[in-house]
Amino acid sequence: MDDVRATSAWVASHSSHVLVDSSGIEKVVETIESIPKVVWDFEGIHYFDNGPLTVQYLFVLDALNFCFWPDKELSYDHLASGLKASLQNDKSAFDADRLQKYTGPELRELLKWPRPLPLEDERVRLLHEVGCELERSFEGKAANIVESCGKSAVKLVAVITRHFPGFRDHSLYKGHQVFLYKRAQIFAADLWGAFRGQGYGEFNDIGSITIMADYIVPAVLRQLGVLKYSSTLASIIDANSEIGPGSEEEVELRACSIYAVEKMRELMSMKSGKQVLSVELDLWLWSFGIQCPSLPHHRTLSIYY
């Protein structure tokens, strides 16, 4: 995760469209006595049986956890609860051999979704990729990935991005490679949250995980006065116009969000004298954002978030 932090900081220091406002960070931190604790499964939308099937569920969930906004009625909750219901109905639904064979219509049926999903072909491709590599390298079980990592979230992210190309959330920005790793990191965070830091969710280095740079967190940070946009970028976002994947604007929105929350975390740790986890800040910011659906967010068609 050092690469994520370092390259995000580099983007923030060379940004043309997004500014991280230090005074805005200080103001927000002054108003927070402690991070409001958000229970990981606060709406009961996830499958959980305290065993390896939960790990399999979370890996499938995070393989598909991207790009909801083109369909105004679709949300993360539909994905999480739809996959939960399908697994409750058929415990073999996410077996590696079956993941390799799903079609778009079959995925829709799993989720009980009445029309084509955004980037449906990509979602199906990623399901096939996950099933194939799980079968080839991990005896079909996502739990075997976790067990191979020796309670290290950093190693887990490294193994996932090495074995599963669909999780390689990289961008090129002004001649520099930038590492963001949203979905690989959120798998570690989901495990930690679901298992409450025990069993498959026990990581000795959970503090190494950064926030998960998506389209909600930048919108919340803008609302809080932590991020400031150029007038051109602000007008694009407020008009609900699309921003190209890998564009300077998109990379800056995501990388500056990571950098800004790292600065928030450091300041809060100094203030409280206790370790503050980026993963806790991320969950708080994300829950704040989904409770304010009218917040204007950037729109990018991407498999990474």
- Confidence (pLDDT) at 142: 98
pLDDT, position 213: 96
pLDDT at 34: 77
Distance CA 137, CA 293 (A): 40
Question: H or E element: which one contains 228?
Answer: strand 227-229
**Structure confidence at residue 127 (pLDDT):** 98
pLDDT reported for residue 41: 86
From CA 218, how far away is CA 201, in angstroms rounded? Answer: 27
Instruction: State the amino acid at position 20 in one-letter form.
Output: V
Residues of the chain with pLDDT under 50: none
List the catalytic residue out of 62, 214, 238, 282. Answer: 214
Amino acid at 305: Y
- Strand, helix or coil at 99? helix
Q: Is 21 assigned a catalytic role?
A: no
Q: What is the pTM of this model?
A: 0.95
Q: Which H helix or E strand runs over 171?
A: strand 170-173
* Main-chain phi, psi angles of 23, to 5 degrees: -65, -35
The structure tokens 């740079």 sit at 213
The pLDDT score that the predictor gives to residue 8 is 98
> Taking the domains of the chain in order of start, what are their residue ranges?
2-290
* pLDDT at residue 96 in the model: 98
192 and 201 Cβ atoms separated by less than 8 Å: yes
The DSSP call for residue 299 is B
Segment 80-107, tens digit of pLDDT: 999 999 999 999 999 999 999 999 999 9
**Tokens encoding 203:** 């990581």
Note the pLDDT of residue 296: 95
At 134 the pLDDT is 98
Structure tokens at 60: 């499938």
